[in-house]
Amino acid sequence: MTGELSPIDKAKFVAAKKSVEFVEDGMRVGLGTGSTAAWMVRCLGELVREDGLKIRGVPTSTRTAALAREVGIEVISLDEARWLDLTIDGADEFDGEFNLIKGGGGALLQEKIVATASDRMIVISDVSKEVENLGAFPLPVEVIPFGWQTSKALVEEMLDSMDVLGQSSTLRMNGDSPFFTDEGNHIIDLHLTRIGNPRQLAMVLNQIPGVVENGLFIDICDTVIVGFGDGRVQVRDINDDSVEEDKLEFVDSDNLFTDLSE
């Protein structure tokens, strides 16, 4: 099965496979949302079923919760867990200071809450997500439905004073209807091209009435695991400024790859 994967999917898989080595018996683990995180959940499920790993997972979306239950991971709420040992999630972009853009899958609010309630956050990614400056990927901003057009206008007006190249924004759609998050909110995607000061932008966005949260994750990520299409992985840790490299061999597993349609 792995022979049929594209280089990008192989890179996502090896990053996810490497990340579960950091999960220990008895941990409470935040389970991210997205295509790379789905690989991780599958890998964790395999460890639970075949190696007897005992963990409790706190998912960041309804679809991650469904996948976790499907592969045999015990799912609990964040209120039940109260605090997490580790969160593993993907990212749409990351820079050299481990600042992230997340929310391409629409789960940024739960993802940020879970990540900040963890002792450690590990981001898993293929190398294509690494950028010098954030902003090529549209920045998601979650807003409540009431007055969303006013919130959108206020965001666009605020962008005039920010260090960004683009200033356009669009309401995320699901077919012909607005997209709704798990919390019943809308998402406005900001097309900024380049974000010169992510920290400032994140703070100012959250001061706008109607804005619930934004997809800039600042000072949250501790470790980035970067996968490559040839099976190489780099583990980069911001706390000790270290980079470790490994190479994983691909082993076909019907249980792992069956029905994975990310």
Query: What are the sequence ranges of the domains in the chain?
Result: 2-129+219-256, 139-215
User: Does 33 belong to an annotated binding site?
Assistant: yes
111 is catalytic: yes
CATH number given to 139-215:
3.30.70.260
- Per DSSP, the three-state class of 16 is helix
Q: What is the pLDDT of residue 42?
A: 98
Q: What is the pLDDT of residue 262?
A: 38
Q: What is the pLDDT of residue 258?
A: 47
Reading the block at residue 184, the tokens are 């019943």
User: Does 219 belong to an annotated binding site?
Assistant: no
| CATH class for the region spanning 2-129+219-256 | alpha beta
User: Does 91 belong to an annotated binding site?
Assistant: yes
Q: Cβ–Cβ contacts within 10 Å for residue 181, how many? A: 22
User: Does 210 belong to an annotated binding site?
Assistant: no
Cα separation, 88 vs 79, whole angstroms: 18
Q: Report angle CA 18, 20, 22 to the nearest 5 degrees.
A: 95
Q: What is the pLDDT of residue 250?
A: 65
Reading the block at residue 19, the tokens are 């990340």
- Per DSSP, the three-state class of 164 is strand
CA-based torsion, 196, 198, 203, 206: positive or negative: positive
Cα separation, 125 vs 94, whole angstroms: 9
User: Does 184 belong to an annotated binding site?
Assistant: no
Question: For the chain, which residues score pLDDT lower than 50?
Answer: 1-2, 254, 258-262
* DSSP H helices in the chain: 7-19, 35-51, 62-70, 78-81, 108-116, 148-159, 198-205, 254-257
Annotated catalytic residue: which of 21, 24, 80, 111? 111
* Cβ pair 262, 38 in contact under 8 A: yes
What is the Cα 254 distance to its own chain's centre? 26
